[in-house]
Amino acid sequence: MLVLRHEVAVLRRTQPKPRWDWADRAVLAALIRLLPRALRVHRLVTPGTVLRWHRRLITQKWTHPQRMGRPPVDTEIVTLIERLATENPTWGYQRIRGELLKLGHRVSASTIRRVLKSRGLPPAPQRQTDTTWRQFLRTQASTMLAVDFFHVDCAVTLRRLYCFFVLEVGSRTVHILGVTAHPDGPWTTQQARNLLMDLGDRAADFRFLVRDRAGQFTASFDAVLADAGITAIKIPPRTPRANAYAERFVLTVRTEVTDRMLIFGERHLRTALAEYAAHYNGRRPHRGRDLQPPRPDHPVAVLSQERIKRRSVLGGLINEYERAA
State the pLDDT at residue 40. Answer: 55
Please indicate, yes or no, whether residues 101 and 145 belong to a single structural domain of this protein.
no
Residue 184: is its pLDDT beyond 60? yes
Do 107 and 215 belong together in one domain? no
Lowest-confidence pick of 171-175, 270-274, 304-308: 304-308
| CB contact at 8 A, 258 and 251 | no
For residue 313, being part of any structural domain is answered with no
Q: Is residue 67 part of a domain?
A: no
Query: Domain range for residue 99?
Result: 75-127
| Beta partners for residue 319, in sequence order | 312
Under the banding of pLDDT at 50, 70 and 90, the label for residue 13 is low
Place 121 in a pLDDT band, splitting at 50, 70 and 90: confident
pLDDT bucket at 30, cuts 50 / 70 / 90 = low
- Whether residues 176 and 266 share a domain: the answer is yes
pLDDT value of residue 17: 60
Note the pLDDT tens digit of each residue in 42-85.
555 666 666 676 677 677 766 666 666 677 888 899 999 988 88
Phi and psi at 276, nearest 5°, equal: -70, -35
pLDDT in tens, 1-11: 665 565 556 55
Is residue 302 a part of any domain in this protein?
no
Q: What are phi and psi of 321, to 5 degrees?
A: -130, 145
Out of 30-39, 103-112, 157-166, the most confident range is: 157-166
Task: Count structural domains, the chain.
Answer: 3
Same domain, 111 and 196: no
How much is the pLDDT for 59?
A: 74
Residue 228 lies inside a defined structural domain of this protein? yes
Which pLDDT band, with edges at 50, 70 and 90, does 142 fall under? Answer: confident
CB 162 within 8 A of CB 145: no
Is the domain of 158 the same as that of 252?
yes
Q: How confident is the model at residue 236 (pLDDT cuts 50, 70, 90)?
A: very high
Which helix (H) or strand (E) is 147 found in, with range?
strand 144-153
Using alpha carbons, select from 193, 165, 162, 187 the residue that is nearest to residue 266: 162
Predicted TM-score of the model (pTM): 0.60
Residues 152 and 279 in one domain: yes
Residues 204 and 263 in one domain: yes
Rounded-to-integer distance, Cα 307 and Cα 312, Å: 16
Question: Is 312 within the bounds of a domain?
Answer: no
In a domain, 305, yes or no: no
Q: Is the pLDDT of residue 207 over 60?
A: yes
Asked, for residue 208, whether it belongs to a domain, the answer is yes
Say what the pLDDT of residue 133 is.
66
On whether residue 249 sits in a domain, the answer given is yes
Taking alpha carbons only, the member of 266, 315, 289 closest to residue 164 is 266
Q: What does the pLDDT read at residue 290?
A: 81
Q: Choose among 243, 273, 268: nearest CA to 177.
A: 273
**Is 142 in the same domain as 234?**
yes
Shared-domain flag, residues 282 and 145 = yes
Residue range 29-52: average pLDDT? 61
Mean pLDDT of the chain: 83
Do 210 and 99 share a structural domain? Answer: no
What's the CATH number where 285 sits?
Answer: 3.30.420.10
Are 162 and 257 in a shared domain?
yes
**One domain, residues 168 and 88:** no
Rounded to 10 degrees, the C-alpha dihedral 183/184/189/194 comes to: -30
